[in-house]
Amino acid sequence: MNFFKSISGQIQGKSLRQLVANFRNEYISNGIVESDLKENPIDQFEIWFNEAVSNKLREPNAMHLATATPDGKPSGRVVLLKGFDERGFIFYTNYSSRKSHELEANNHASLTFLWIELYKQVRIEGLVHRIPPIEANHYFSSRPRGSQISAWASMQSQPVNNRHELELRMEDIEKEFSGKPVPRPENWGGYCLAPSKVEFWLGRSNRLHDRILYELQADNTWTKQRLSP
């Protein structure tokens, strides 16, 4: 049942702060059959990701990236997956950003995908490293020109006086590269998260969800284990 319908009779005279505990959907799915799962979580992720794409979910490559400082202070934000292969999961950013500073100081990180329309979630933990510059160059050259220019104009995560200052910086960069290709800034590039743990979660009725955890072993094979919801 849609939670808006379920609480529609309770809204009058109450704030959403009072009602948020009543937001509830029942998750109905066929569950995860362990024998159907791939031996490698990257291959299994591809199946689930293709399902999200084929169902035309909005931004199926949106993922939550969690980082932490060396002393354990966490931060999170949503970024976009821009590739995945046997190495892991790739995303791009400004190397001067907060997330990059934290990754350079502590390269343990996690990713979370949530495809709520499918009642599916994937959680990934591992170590992050920079991808080769030639690979970053190739991706940067494929970006829309406006995105290329904004990568030069934005000093990501740094204070800015106002929006107008950003727009003037964009105009200056546009003039600088007028009539010629926009090269990749040296402080902009990609990261790859190499997974050591990957958990596939599927919502089921009565909150008795399915959770299957893959863990990387010393010999580079993967084990699978069912977890309690």
SS3 call for 100: helix
Is residue 143 annotated as part of the catalytic site, yes or no? no
152 burial level (CB within 10 Å; 0-12, 13-18, 19+): buried
Residue in 24, 77, 145, 207 annotated catalytic: 207
In 95-166, where do the E strands start and end? 108-115, 120-130
Nearest to 153 by CA among 140, 172, 131, 137: 172
Active site residues: 207
